[in-house]
Structure 1
Amino acid sequence: MTGTGYLIPVSESRSVRNTVRYAVEQATDRAAETGESVTLRFVYPLSKRLSFDEGTGEAEHARSLLDRVEAWADEDLGADTESAVEVYTSLVGTREYLFSPSDYADVLAEYARTHGIDVVVFDPDFDPLGTTALLPPIENELRRGDFEVEKAAVARARRGTLLVRRGTVAQFLGLATISTLFYLLLAGSLAPFELATGTISGLVVATALWGISLTTPIQPAQMAGRVGRLLLYIPYLVWEVVVANLKIAYVVLHPDLPIDPEVVEFDAAVWSALPVTTLANSITLTPGTVTVDVTRRHFTVHALTKDSKAGLLGGSLERAVRFVFYGRSAARIPSPIERRDTETQSDGETEETEEAVDR
């Protein structure tokens, strides 16, 4: 290892403790060799976090792990080397929807460049999603960005297959319920025979796929709240579709055909796959707007009229989708046009400050 600062991404794993020890040993040796202070920056990439709600279970778990990492590093350093090696911990990516290896690599690279780090040390079992082996492609992305990348030389515990995981009773019941409801939806009937066969089919599916599908922990209260808010969202969406239909009918029947087609781009304040998909489909279902492309949470939408563009940037559908998935507090986030105005104002203030400094 070379350099005086090291970035160590961490996640919950069997070898994270040994990775911390390895990083401390390397930093201690480097400090003794160069006589310079060495920094160790342990980071936890926290995907799909909401800027307005950082008190979630996943965020608390991430902070707990970083607290443990810091305590382990202090324990390994001891009193004699604390002044030569500085330890920092941080959450990264909290405002981004991280999905692909390049997303994680971009967040890590930005943090490393900000702190003048060109060496990244990975836990061999680093797995930010907990389900997919992202480490090799993340390493390759960082190497292409001129970073020195290495794995901690630690013994790896034998891991079971990632395909099958131990599920909970709540996950079993949740999968059985979803399968039964889907069966009844396809059957289009609530007759006793359909209810019986649907229940049996749901239990069979849940038994067969219990350890494969729906392995994310279920929070019944949170799920019930989302379902309730979804039931409120459906009539709201139907109303928006009806109103938009009437507006488009007026445009079509107007002698002057007052259309003003335009492609609109904006970043939506939604942070995970299902909310993004729901918003994109809701926009397309509403006459006058069609979702052309979505990259993470960046939307490209074709708006047929000024009215549809104003409604899109006004953020009514976006607020409704946030309400469904994140609750009432999320509905108060500024609309796309308000966020755009704020960013423009901030950019203007930055330019004025830079001009003042130049003078």
Structure 2
Amino acid sequence: MTTSDARRLLVPVDDSVTMRNTVAYVVDEARSAVTDGPVELHFVAIASTRSVDPDAPEELGEAAELLERVEVWVEEDFGDGIPEAVTVETAVLGADRYLFSPGDYADAILAHADEHGIGRIVLDPEYSPGGSTPMLRPLERELARGDAEVEEAPVERRAQRTVLARAASLPKYLTVFGASYLFYMLLSSWKPLDFATGAFTAGLVAVLLAPVAFSEQPSLRRVGRQLLRMLVYAPYLLKEIAVANLQIAYVVLHPSLPIDPKVVQLQAAVWGDAPVTTLANSITLTPGTLTISVTDRAFDIHSLTAGSREDLFEGGLERAVRFVFYGREAAAIASPRERGDDGEGQDG
């Protein structure tokens, strides 16, 4: 048995609405503790409770993808790179057993904690790996059997009410106000009256929309970095639009009109409302491709020519959107075609 250490943190992760904020909290804790010595962050995802065949990679895909997402968030929250004194480890648990009850989940988590000498377990307030039924309270009691300290991350929980009744925090109000005010001023003539009416309008928009504008707590520092990267992305997108326009113009003016319309599906490596919306709209803005629908990460896209499909599955737009929202290192990803995604096109 390894001696437990409170400087080793274990975080069970699940695809919840508060997971992003929990990761940010853990990074803040590591940033504060690293001044006194090395810190280890262990993020673990539970494999499917209904599929436990370790020889079937697709059954572990969702857990592995979630851990990849968490690693991107950790790098993003540290900003200037993960310090050398911070070690980040990820693991998929439960692939070799059938997990059903909170006790089963706790056994898998505690075994990992004991193996790595982990002295502190941080739980996401909405952690529920078994499905839609919350298990946080029973899981906390089961985890208390171990030697590690167990705590719930002090992050904003989802309100148990309708979406229109969700509470809004100060960062949400400030973010919505700032974005609305900037947009208003971009459309104004910058007269003194415009500043006053812009502030009033932005304030009204913030009051009405801040409670429903975000599915997670916004970080002004993170949003600021994303806006700066968006300034790099905008010229790239304009270039792609211009090139696609020339390609479509060639097709339209060609005597034989060499079009080959098909509906294809792109499995994009983006997540979250803003990245998915940005990629979907960028694809639509690029002539020759039109996003028809989006389900999770599956984009149904109508493509006019074979060339437009080639460009789509080369992954340029996907990498650019990942750069904007997840950082430079996240852009270094294999293209959809290299990942084995051929779109399975249908004539249309």
Question: TM class, shorter-chain normalised?
Answer: 0.5 to 0.7
Q: How does 1:199-238 map to 2 (within 5 A)?
A: 199-206=199-206, 216-238=216-238
CA–CA separation in structure 1 for the residues paired with 2:323 and 2:220: 18
Alignment root-mean-square deviation, CA = 4.5
Q: Relative to 1, partners in 2 of residues 1:150 and 1:44: Cα closer, same or farther, differing over 3 Å?
A: closer
SS in 2 for 1:300: strand
Measured against aligned partners, the alpha-carbon deviations of 1:200-225 in whole angstroms (never above 9, x if no partner) come to 33235546766665584433332111
Q: Relative to 1, partners in 2 of residues 1:137 and 1:216: Cα closer, same or farther, differing over 3 Å?
A: closer
Measured against aligned partners, the alpha-carbon deviations of 1:173-203 in whole angstroms (never above 9, x if no partner) come to 3232123234345x54322211111113323
CA–CA separation in structure 2 for the residues paired with 1:326 and 1:242: 26
The question of 1:181 aligning with 2:151 is answered: no
Could you tell me which residue of structure 1 aligns to residue 22 of structure 2? Answer: 58
Could you tell me which residue of structure 2 aligns to residue 13 of structure 1? Answer: none
Q: How does 1:110-125 map to 2 (within 5 A)?
A: 115-119=97-101
**Larger C-alpha radius of gyration, 1 or 2?**
1
Could you tell me which residue of structure 2 aligns to residue 290 of structure 1? Answer: 290
Matched-pair contact (CA < 8 Å) for 1:260–1:304: yes
CA–CA separation in structure 1 for the residues paired with 2:225 and 2:136: 44
SS in 2 for 1:337: coil
Matched-pair contact (CA < 8 Å) for 2:261–2:304: yes
CA–CA separation in structure 1 for the residues paired with 2:211 and 2:198: 21
SS in 1 for 2:339: helix
Q: How many residues align?
A: 244
Q: Relative to 1, partners in 2 of residues 1:262 and 1:96: Cα closer, same or farther, differing over 3 Å?
A: farther
Could you tell me which residue of structure 2 aligns to residue 260 of structure 1? Answer: 260
Matched-pair contact (CA < 8 Å) for 2:102–2:138: no
Percent identity of equivalent pairs: 38
**Counterpart amino acid of residue 132 in structure 2:** I
Q: By how many angstroms is 1:58 displaced? A: 3.4
SS in 1 for 2:337: helix
Matched-pair contact (CA < 8 Å) for 1:46–1:62: no
Q: Which runs of 5+ in 2 are unaligned?
A: 1-10, 30-42, 47-62, 68-91, 106-123, 142-157, 343-348
CA–CA separation in structure 2 for the residues paired with 1:314 and 1:323: 16
Q: Relative to 1, partners in 2 of residues 1:269 and 1:153: Cα closer, same or farther, differing over 3 Å?
A: closer
Matched-pair contact (CA < 8 Å) for 1:269–1:318: yes
**Counterpart amino acid of residue 90 in structure 1:** V
Q: By how many angstroms is 1:45 displaced? A: 1.0
Q: Relative to 1, partners in 2 of residues 1:231 and 1:94: Cα closer, same or farther, differing over 3 Å?
A: same
Q: How does 1:140-179 map to 2 (within 5 A)?
A: 152=138, 163=165, 165=167, 167-168=169-170, 170-179=171-180
